[in-house]
A = this chain, B = another copy of it.
Amino acid sequence: MSETAPQGPVYNRVALIGLGLIASSMFWAMKRAGLADEVTGFARSAETRETARRIGLCDRVCDSAAEAVAGADLVVLCVPVGVMGAVAEEIAPALQPGATVSDVGSVKRHVIDAVTPHIPEGVHFVPSHPLAGTEHSGPESGFASLFENRWNLLVPVEGTDPEAVARLRRLWEGMGANVDEMDADHHDLVLAVTSHAPHLIAYTMVGVADDLRRVTDSEVIKYSAAGFRDFTRIAASDPTMWRDVFLSNKEATLEILGRFTEELFALQRAIRTGDGDHLHAYFTRTRAIRRGIIEAGQDTAAPDFGRGPKA
């Protein structure tokens, strides 16, 4: 967490468009730290808006995006990457001069290209991407501590007002996140490695297990503790969000997957030819990365993530 936690609200009114895991966590985190005087919210689905009202998610749940953004000095687009452009177009006429628009999409070049043309003169657009999440989705899945000690990447576009960027940074630091700035294309490549390719691979492996006629689903489920279990958590993530991620970060994802299959073929060949030295050397190298992640505070060293036997 930032050493200089902000005193008092950073924004007067924040509008959250889309009320899933990230938006609901932002609401609880902003409220906990008193970062916004009022938070409005809008979701396309009437059922989601109903749920939000029932659980007290947002100070005011609105029945249109335009109503939610009216008078807001920060608008955060928390919708799947594939509809960011359409939502930006819809809210554009209702945006208040001087307001900042941001987003939380997992892909940045595509979102910038889709949203920027709709941003009115005098409104700031500061794309961002919090690297935090769980396998759960929807308005009831959020919690105030989701962003603590996690990274949020700000990806300012050319000509963005530095004060608008600094203010958004204060909001995220107030929610407990560490903040970095990064160029959009580099962001998309880094995320293809650390997130997009791993997700596609996990989805694939879980799908293969489900397909295999000679091994039953109940066997896969019973005996999952042997490694497969961790893949299923990743492969339980929101299908719409991930469809959009792959389609909108196509090039970087396909590049990393190409490298992955090349490397996988080399290891398959080592298995087939019995080249134990190649395998051993490869597996030894990958151990070091794990140590780095634990030292960087991005995971726990407790065995099995500290899962209790009775969990």
Least CB distance from A261 to B in Å reads 6
Cα distance A202–B283 in the bound complex, in angstroms: 10
Say whether A156 faces chain B, with CB atoms less than 8 Å apart.
Answer: no
Query: Beta-carbon contacts of A19-62 to B below 8 Å, as 1s and 0s?
Result: 00000000000000000000000000000000000000000000
Say whether A118 faces chain B, with CB atoms less than 8 Å apart.
Answer: no
Closest to A199 in B: B227
Say whether A229 faces chain B, with CB atoms less than 8 Å apart.
Answer: yes
Say whether A5 faces chain B, with CB atoms less than 8 Å apart.
Answer: no
Task: Report which residue of A134, A227, A240 has the largest number of chain B beta carbons within 10 angstroms of its beta carbon.
Answer: A227
Cα distance A276–B81 in the bound complex, in angstroms: 13
- Asked whether A131 and B239 contact (CB < 8 A) given A203-B286, A309-B149, the answer is no
- Asked whether A289 and B235 contact (CB < 8 A) given A203-B267, A279-B246, the answer is yes
Q: Which residues does chain B contribute within 8 Å of A164, judged by CB atoms?
A: none
**CB distance A247 to B195 under 8 Å?**
no
Least CB distance from A145 to B in Å reads 4
- Stoichiometry, as copies per complex, reads 2
Q: Which of B133, B256, B311 contacts A300 (CB 8 A)?
A: B311
Q: Which residues does chain B contribute within 8 Å of A299, judged by CB atoms?
A: 224-225, 229, 232-233, 307, 311
Q: Which residues does chain B contribute within 8 Å of A190, judged by CB atoms?
A: 215, 219-220, 223
Say whether A206 faces chain B, with CB atoms less than 8 Å apart.
Answer: yes
Say whether A166 faces chain B, with CB atoms less than 8 Å apart.
Answer: no
Cα distance A137–B206 in the bound complex, in angstroms: 27
- Asked whether A210 and B250 contact (CB < 8 A) given A151-B222, A299-B224, the answer is no
- Chain A residues 152 to 177 lying within 8 A of chain B, measured CB to CB, are 153, 176
- Asked whether A225 and B151 contact (CB < 8 A) given A134-B304, A264-B200, the answer is yes
User: Contacting chain B: which of A8-16, A70-78, A290-298?
Assistant: A290-298
Say whether A132 faces chain B, with CB atoms less than 8 Å apart.
Answer: yes
- Asked whether A198 and B293 contact (CB < 8 A) given A193-B212, A299-B224, A307-B300, the answer is no
- Chain A residues 237 to 281 lying within 8 A of chain B, measured CB to CB, are 237, 239-240, 242-244, 246-247, 250, 253-254, 256-257, 259-261, 263-265, 267-268, 271-272, 274, 276, 279-280
